[in-house]
Amino acid sequence: MLYSIIRVEEKLLIRAAEKMGLEMEKIDDRECIFGLSNDIWHYDVVLERCISHSKALYALKFLNEYGIKTVNTYDVAACCGDKAFTSIAFEKNGIPTPKTFVAFEPESAIKAIERIGYPAVMKPVVGSWGRLLAKIDTRNTAEAIIEHKEVLGSYLHQIYYVQEFVDKPQRDIRAFVVGDETICAVYRESAHWITNTARGAKTVECKVTDELNDLCVRAAHAVGGGIIAVDVMETKSGAYTVHEANYTMEFRNSIVPTGIDIPAKILEYVVGVAKR
Amino acid sequence: MVNGECIECGKHIDLADAEEGELVTCPECGTEMEVVSLTPPSLEPAPPEEEDWGE
């Protein structure tokens, strides 16, 4: 297991591996070295659990080029780790997703927002845990947020990713897809429009209907498949719309409400990949 | 019994079930630390959150 730091999830995976009698080596990404040819890495499969998207991408690229199986793959990480790429994959594969535009300059970002209409949501293309999301209600707000993003450090803040605001019922759905099955799902409930558990949302079990399972598995396959957490919103009309796919999913708050041993399911899948 | 000591407030922290590289939080003052070693027990400040961190 390649990791940056052992969080609750990685600890649960280590303990699950012990319970299942699997030989798991912990690989700290801070100690890794990758050469252009491989004489260092010899594993049946690598479960990637880096907390840093950039490090995960490079590590997976090297490992996959060496012919080492990984969960997830470089292609999946590249797609899920960038919201614009994820949106493209959803659209291409017929997954319902909020209307989205990408622009590169402040003036064109305003045009993109006004094509969508207020309120709109602006998100960093790379980022997680609900950080730096902005709900934009007026042109004045749009101009202020864009001005701030112009001076933020990373060049990626000038890739303006603008999305339709979905007026959801104070919750969204986080569904856990492992291979070809949605193993469980939770509602993430919050009075705030941002419903990430990292921002305080509470998790409650969401029954996985055939419709939800089908949608989430298709969404996971759209980004390349593997172990994917799919984020789904319910629209006012009762339809589902999928807004995100996460390739290094956090699940600490979803085991108790669902009763599903998520780390064991992950490891069973990883062992299956090693045997392919 | 493996115990560490909070780098901020000095409270003893039970590391009996800890892993090297694990993130632990002091129950007294809330400081986040990384277990850099278990033999001997050693705690250091947790790495600061970076922009590309996430899931």
B36: closest CA of chain A, how far (Å): 10
Number of domains in chain A: 3
Average pLDDT of the residues in A124-148: 96
According to DSSP, the β-strands at A46-49 and A2-3 are parallel
List, as one string, the DSSP characters of A33-59. Answer: ---SS-SS---S-EEEE-SBHHHHHHH
Would you call B51 and A153 a contact, using CB atoms and an 8 Å cutoff? yes
A235: closest CA of chain B, how far (Å): 25
Chain A residues contacting B via beta carbons under 8 Å: 3-7, 10-11, 14, 26, 28, 51-54, 126-129, 131, 153-154, 229, 246-250
pLDDT in tens, A202-228: 999 999 999 999 999 999 999 999 999
Boundaries of domain holding A53: 2-80
A54: closest CA of chain B, how far (Å): 7
Residues A104 and A69 in one domain: no
Domain membership of residue A150 (yes or no) is yes
As a three-state string, the secondary structure of A153-207 is: CCHHHHCEEEEECCCCCCEEEEEEEECCEEEEEEEEECCCCCCCHHHCCEEEECC
Domains of chain B: 3-45 (2.20.28.160)
- Among the listed residues A118, A83, A111, A78, the one whose alpha carbon sits nearest the alpha carbon of residue A97: A83
Is the Cβ–Cβ distance between B5 and B13 less than 8 Å?
yes
pLDDT in tens, A52-92: 999 999 999 999 999 999 999 999 999 999 999 999 999 99
**Out of B21, B50, B54, closest to residue A3 by CB:** B21
Residue A194 CA to residue A206 CA, distance in Å, equals: 18
Last residue of a domain, which of A80, A110, A143? A80
Domain membership of residue A12 (yes or no) is yes
The shares of helix, strand and coil residues in chain A, as percent rounded to the nearest 5, are 40, 25, 40
Q: What number is the ipTM of this complex?
A: 0.92
Last residue of a domain, which of A80, A114, A141? A80
pLDDT in tens, A234-259: 999 999 999 999 999 999 999 999 99
Last residue of a domain, which of A80, A113, A148? A80
Confidence at A17, pLDDT banded by 50, 70, 90: very high
Residues A185 and A257 in one domain: yes
Would you call B19 and A3 a contact, using CB atoms and an 8 Å cutoff? no
- Which pTM does this prediction carry? 0.95
Give the Å distances, CA to CA, from A51 to A48, A89, A91.
9, 23, 27
